[in-house]
Amino acid sequence: MIGYLLGGLVVLVVAGIYLYVTYYNRIRVLENRIEEAWAQIDVQLQKRFDLVPNLVETVKGYASHEKEIFDNIAKARAGMVSGSRQDRVTADNMLTQAMGRLFAIAEAYPDLKAQENFKLLQEQLEGIENKIAYARQFYNDTVLDFNNLVTTIPGLWFAGGRGKSEFLEIPDEARDVPRVKF
């Protein structure tokens, strides 16, 4: 009788250790994926960051009187260089708005729209924007998996006090449609 109890206890302990190791490792993998997903967003933001000056210079030749937009783009680019993750996301949203206004201005200049350099830069930027959107989606999907794991049972028992991660969200002010005045 004692042998069965001892055997049952050993099975429970081994099962408990197995569960702990499995959930601990799963939590760590998701934490690492969140960091990797942010790094991918950062890479794409850097690519866009590097492309923007060429685009601005191309448009400046045609619309040099639009100083405010060029200043806004410069400010947003400066904000993306340093700061917290949220600061960089905010600067990225400012840049997105400013770029929307820049392209709206470009619509008013048919010669600019027809220029090969502008077309190429616009295509490159569109590709980068698509990659940023995908990277953000992957990041938020990974955060969702992590948050589900650490807030539900049995993952909650093995989370070791880890809290939920934050999703990347677009602030309300970045949702405004750019307005261009001529």
- DSSP string over 108-131: T-HHHHH-HHHHHHHHHHHHHHHH
Task: Return the domain boundaries, the chain.
Answer: 17-65+107-167
In the block, tokens 């953000």 appear at 136
Are 37 and 135 in contact, with CB atoms under 8 Å apart? yes
**Which H helix or E strand runs over 61?**
none
Per-residue pLDDT tens digits for 53-62: 888 777 776 6
Are 97 and 174 in contact, with CB atoms under 8 Å apart? yes
Instruction: State the pLDDT at residue 75.
Output: 78
Instruction: State the pLDDT at residue 12.
Output: 92
Q: Which of 94, 36, 95, 108 is nearest to 65 (CA)?
A: 108
Q: Which of 75, 69, 80 is nearest to 44 (CA)?
A: 80
Instruction: State the pLDDT at residue 181.
Output: 43
Instruction: State the pLDDT at residue 173.
Output: 54
Per-residue pLDDT tens digits for 155-175: 888 888 888 888 887 665 544
Q: How far apart are CA 21 and CA 42, in angstroms?
A: 31
Q: Which CATH number does 17-65+107-167 carry? A: 1.20.1440.20
For the beta carbon of residue 84, count every other beta carbon within 10 angstroms.
Answer: 8
Q: What is the pLDDT along the chain (182 residues), one digit of tens a residue?
A: 787 888 888 999 999 899 889 988 999 999 999 999 999 988 888 888 888 888 877 777 666 666 777 777 777 777 777 777 777 878 888 888 888 887 777 777 777 766 777 778 888 888 888 898 899 999 999 999 999 998 888 888 888 888 888 888 766 554 454 443 43
Query: What angle (nearest 5°) sits at the alpha carbon of residue 77, between those of residues 76 and 79?
Result: 65
